Amino acid sequence: MRILVVGSGGREHALIWKLKAERPEAQIYAAPGNGGTKTLAESVPLKAEEIAGLADFAESREIDLTVVGPEAPLVAGIVDVFQQRGLTIFGPSAAAAELEGSKAFAKDLMKQAGVPTAAYQTVQSYDEAERVIRKRGAPVVVKASGLAAGKGSIVCRTIEDALDAARSMLIDRRFGNAGATVVIEDFLEGEELSLLFLTDGTVTLPLLPSQDHKPIGEGDTGPNTGGMGAYAPVSIADTKLVDRVTERIALPTVRALAKQERPFRGVLYCGLILVQGDPYVIEYNCRFGDPETQAILPLMGGSLLELFERVARGDSIAAARITWTERAAVCTVLASAGYPGSYDKGKVIRIPKRLGEDPDLILLHAGTRRDPERRLVTSGGRVLGVVGLGETVRAAAEKSRAAATDIKFEGKYFRKDIGYREIQREAPR
Ligand code: AMP
Ligand code: GLY
């Protein structure tokens, strides 16, 4: 079997790791992959955005299944192009991926479908934004509607901050066209949760609940990043809550999309906030989360590949079940000094050999590459995900943190508190 995985981050390394574990004889290609995927998959020098080139590659190499990691190619229509060419691909069409590509679209869909989310208004000019912000008051959240690499949502404590955010989007065009439409919504207070669903467009299968850590600083302080770590499972997301999210959020969402003739086949990522225990949607993504995937997949029993194949072929997953190991996983992200701002690249990474031999550790690369001398060097802001496994989140976190300490590169930064909310919940004895 030949599989192509599109993308270059820790999420894609996790996907390749899982697929290779399930099907060791499969020939996997990573486009473009990273310094860590090379041991499991052949790197293809094509970026995720080079849709026509990727389709040519899939055709010429007779790829049996393509799996797409990042949102940009999905929103740009990679699935439509592959399908038109008769190629089997896992992911939503451009029409369905609009759920992530346009926050204005997503909010309107939620409203129609009765999915709980923050009250909002959509604006297209600064004058309109100012009126709305002054009327709603602070705190308030100002969001660029389009794709902004996770940086387009600004939580504003004061009206002045909100006006600045609106100005930067609508006048200064900080996010280009992605900020031409702006969603202004009420601030919701509560704990966040990522709940991902595999869906064939009708049936939704929940994956293990996880929690991301977006801010750069410990205790969730400082600017937001792509995600500094994640853990799974999350005890507050018990079966009852997962069922509730399925009934009130995931199913109404896929039904509303199907009604608009935009069947969603792929991974529906529900970014939730629990307001006094009630789940509200903060955002949808049309793909696996990064770094949530690095914490979820090591706990998954059964075949992900089979589910991918079914969904990609347009078959039903009604009969499918996913099993989960009764353990915990914590992924600590090692970042380059300066991230999420500017940072240096090309720093040599040293990984003690024994880390690779520990069955309770998985090293998932993100911003790494091999230099001409075959040394592993940094090539991005988020460099490596260190996944620790254990019987509790505390044990998994200790494992992850110890290994994160032992890996060396100049300017290495990581949060030492990944999973702290769950560890506090586990603490009282
Ligand atoms: P987003 O890009 O929409 O996922 O938002 C990024 C982060 O901003 C989220 O993870 C939340 O921490 C925060 N956020 C977004 N919308 C809201 C909201 N309505 N209320 C409170 N926090 C929010
Ligand atoms: N971890 C957040 C995301 O993947 O968008």
Mean pLDDT of 329-339: 97
* Least confident piece of the model among 21-30, 66-75, 127-136, 146-155: 146-155
Note the pLDDT tens digit of each residue in 223-246. Answer: 889 899 999 999 999 999 999 999
Pair 221, 285: CB distance under 8 Å: no
Does 4 score more than 70 pLDDT?
A: yes
Q: What is the pLDDT of residue 241?
A: 97
Residue ranges in 270-352 assigned as alpha helix (H): 292-296, 304-313
Assess whether pLDDT exceeds 70 at residue 167: yes
Q: Specify the residue for token string 């040293």.
A: 350
Amino acid 151: pLDDT: 82
Which pLDDT score is estimated for 359?
Answer: 97
283 touches ligand 2 (CB under 6 Å): no
Residue 428, pLDDT above cutoff 90: no
Please tell me the residue having the least CA distance from ligand 1 atom 11: 282
For the residues 108-135, what does the mean pLDDT come to?
96
pLDDT in tens, 386-399: 999 999 999 999 99
CA gyration radius for the chain?
21
Q: State the pLDDT confidence band at 149, using cuts at 50, 70 and 90.
A: confident
Q: Domains, the chain, ranges and CATH?
A: 2-91 (3.40.50.20), 119-186 (3.30.1490.20), 191-324 (3.30.470.20), 328-426 (3.90.600.10)
**With a 6 A CB cut-off, is 10 part of the ligand 2 pocket?**
no
Residue 150 has pLDDT above 80, yes or no: no
Pocket of ligand 1 (CB under 6 A): 118, 141, 143, 150, 153, 155, 185, 187-188, 192, 214, 271, 282-283
Ordered alpha helix ranges (H), 260-349: 292-296, 304-313
pLDDT at site 427: 77
Q: Sign of the C-alpha dihedral, residues 153, 158, 164, 166?
A: positive
pLDDT of residue 332: 98
Whether 215 has a pLDDT exceeding 60, the answer reads yes
Looking at residue 208, its pLDDT comes to 98
Burial class (CB in 10 A: 0-12, 13-18, 19+), 352: exposed
Length of the chain in terms of residues written: 429
Residue 274 tokens read as: 């629990």
**Phi, psi at residue 427, to the nearest 5°?**
-55, -55
| Per-residue model confidence as pLDDT tens digits over 261-306 | 999 999 999 999 999 999 999 999 999 999 999 999 999 998 999 9
Rounded to the nearest whole angstrom, what is the distance from the C-alpha of residue 145 to the centroid of ligand 1?
13
Q: Identify which of 216, 273, 285 to mutate to test ligand 2's pocket (most ligand atoms within 8 A of the CB).
A: 285
Closest CA to 186 of 133, 225, 147, 249: 133
Is pLDDT above 60 for 429? no
**pTM of the predicted structure, to 2 decimals:** 0.96
Q: Mean pLDDT across the stretch 339-345?
A: 94
* Average pLDDT over every residue of 369-377: 94
